[in-house]
Amino acid sequence: MSRRVASPDSVPGVGSPVIRAVIPAAGLGTRLLPATKSIPKEMLPIVDKPVVQLVIEEAVASGITEVHLVTRREKRAIEDHFSPDPELEASLRKMGREDLVERLHAVTGRCRVSYIRQEQPLGLGHAIQLARPHVGDEPFAVLLGDAIIAPFAHAPPGLRQLMDAHAQTQGSVVAVHRVPEDRVSRYGIVEGEASSPDRPDLLRVRRLVEKPEPGRAPSDLAIAGRYILTPAIFECLAGITPGAAGEMQLTDALDLLARKESLHALTWRARRYDIGDRADYVRCFIEFALRRPETAETVRSLAQRLLGGSGATE
């Protein structure tokens, strides 16, 4: 049974489907240097697709039709990736590879992609604020461009799970996952209480802290990089000052939002990969290769041989 857990107040557009998404992809990718010196981390491949394409595929599978990518000047490769390439397509057609042409259109054929330039690295909050003229006066989605979300078996795409929670609460929703105590300082952490006894996975948020010092985190629930936000977030963004790392933090604006409107945190049924983290990037690559029919068998037997101890792969 679906039950409303908050009143809609008078948020414009609430109740209609969320169709616009903002994807911030302007970070420096320092943890993956030197690989990310000339390739944005969002363009690193996971088997044969760049990270940002997988993020947009999640958005499209969830119902998004309009994507606004926030990039910086050095990230032309992202724009090139989603631009038509008539010469490449003509060559592929000559080779009889219509299937590859279709794969090139997999994303752009299903949603509109546009770009917003973030000229200065002023933080995630600033990136979202730049999107204000593009998202209109309706709730919109935010998907961090360096996080890949793999839903658990039989669960909907990550963003879809948030949209369903938004449809129920009629307010802003952030996805969270539990993290070990020694990692809380890497994330935005939420504090709240269960919104209703039948939804222990959906908390009404009271407070949020961006990258709390060890021992000072209000919980172990970390913001996972997917959000549905009402337009009230823009007023809140206008009201914050630089926070953690001297940047404009979206989490600080969410902390203000939680005092004005309903804000919920969903412990979703999904696994998150942080592409900026070397080990997580490798794990993501291997797990996706194990899921793809074209690569699954070879990679599985390779892993078994390596873990069997011989280390030999020939």
Binding flags for ligand G1P, 68-97, as an x/- string (CB under 6 A): ------------------------------
User: Are residues 159 and 99 in contact, defined by beta-carbon separation less than 8 angstroms?
Assistant: no
Cβ proximity to ligand G1P, 140 vs 170, nearer residue: 140
160 vs 172: CA distance, rounded Å: 14
For the bound state, the minimum distance from the C-beta of residue 183 to ligand G1P, rounded and expressed in Å, comes to 10
Strands (E) located in the chain:
20-24, 45-46, 49-50, 66-71, 112-117, 140-143, 147-151, 172-178, 188-194, 202-210, 221-229, 263-267, 270-274
- Residues in 11-50 at the binding interface with ligand G1P, rule: CB under 6 A: none
For the bound state, the minimum distance from the C-beta of residue 210 to ligand G1P, rounded and expressed in Å, comes to 5
Cβ proximity to ligand G1P, 151 vs 188, nearer residue: 188
For the bound state, the minimum distance from the C-beta of residue 97 to ligand G1P, rounded and expressed in Å, comes to 37
DSSP string, 53-85: HHHHHHHHHHT--EEEEEE-GGGHHHHHHTS--
275 vs 270: CA distance, rounded Å: 16
Q: Which of 55, 67, 82 is nearest to 116 (CA)?
A: 67
Question: Facing residues of 22 across strands?
Answer: 68, 142
Cβ proximity to ligand G1P, 270 vs 299, nearer residue: 270
Instruction: Pull the structure tokens for residue 38.
Output: 């000339």
Instruction: Pull the structure tokens for residue 240.
Output: 């914050």
Cβ proximity to ligand G1P, 222 vs 256, nearer residue: 222
Cβ proximity to ligand G1P, 60 vs 174, nearer residue: 174
Contact with ligand G1P (CB under 6 A): which of 143, 223, 229, 299? 223
Question: Facing residues of 142 across strands?
Answer: 22, 227
Binding flags for ligand G1P, 256-295, as an x/- string (CB under 6 A): ------------------x---------------------
For the bound state, the minimum distance from the C-beta of residue 293 to ligand G1P, rounded and expressed in Å, comes to 30
Q: What is the DSSP letter of 36?
A: T
Contact with ligand G1P (CB under 6 A): which of 129, 169, 219, 251? 251
Residues 6+ apart with CB under 8 A from 84: 108
Contact with ligand G1P (CB under 6 A): which of 29, 192, 225, 243? 225
Contact with ligand G1P (CB under 6 A): which of 42, 58, 210, 261? 210
Cβ proximity to ligand G1P, 149 vs 299, nearer residue: 149
- Residues in 180-199 at the binding interface with ligand G1P, rule: CB under 6 A: 187-188
Instruction: Pull the structure tokens for residue 263.
Output: 């804000």
The verdict on 144 binding ligand G1P (CB under 6 A) reads: yes
Residues interacting with ligand G1P, by CB under 6 A?
124, 144, 147, 187-188, 210, 222-223, 225, 249-251, 274
